[in-house]
Amino acid sequence: MFGPPGAGKGTYASMLASRLRIAQISTGDIIREEIKRNTDLGKKIVDFVNKGELVPDDIVVEIVREETNKISGKNGFILDGYPRTIEQAKALDCIEKIDAIIQLGVPEQVIIARLSSRRICMKCGAVYNIRYLKPRKEGVCDACGRDLYQREDDRPEVVRERLKVYEAQTRPLISYYRDKAEFINIECNSVDIPPETIIRRILHELQEKDLIE
């Protein structure tokens, strides 16, 4: 799943994984968990994340390799947040074959509005949005009852830097994959479009391309 920071990749990937009964591999979630636990890996990558920079390719490639090995032989998976560079894509070619690319098109103003409204559970990592995915109780996770917080890299100045990085390093991947996989382009031009609407569009396109039943 491709799209700029704040496009909704994590939310849509989680919903699709549940609907299709496949695994979700979110490199961003894995990286943030390592930082939260203050592991050796987390200490290596925390400065990159806080500055809105990409984590070095060799680290992310190894994370993906380990995650795909865990689900080998199962129904498949959806990648959320990987690959982000041509080098990562080439490494992925040696690990697994990709069937489809879901490209999310979201304007910058929508991304900034969406990210500034995003809140994350401190314990279980559940994602909310105070505009359209509100928790039942303000500031509290529905699933585990712990407090919600705003990620450091969701601040507007960091978001703008992340968008610059995306344009420079990730968008070329679209050309790389153009002849390697089926493309599904989904436009989201409003911050208030419900996630369920986007999911229906994606599922329809997957069916049209005979990728799912």
| Active site residue ranges | 9, 84, 118, 151, 162
Secondary structure class of 135 (helix, strand, coil): coil
Note whether 100 and 206 are within 8 A (CB).
yes
CA 125, 131, 132, 137 torsion-angle sign: positive
Nearest alpha-carbon partner for 129 in 104, 107, 154: 154
Query: Residue 160: helix, strand or coil by DSSP?
Result: helix
The whole-angstrom separation of Cα 36 and Cα 9 is 21
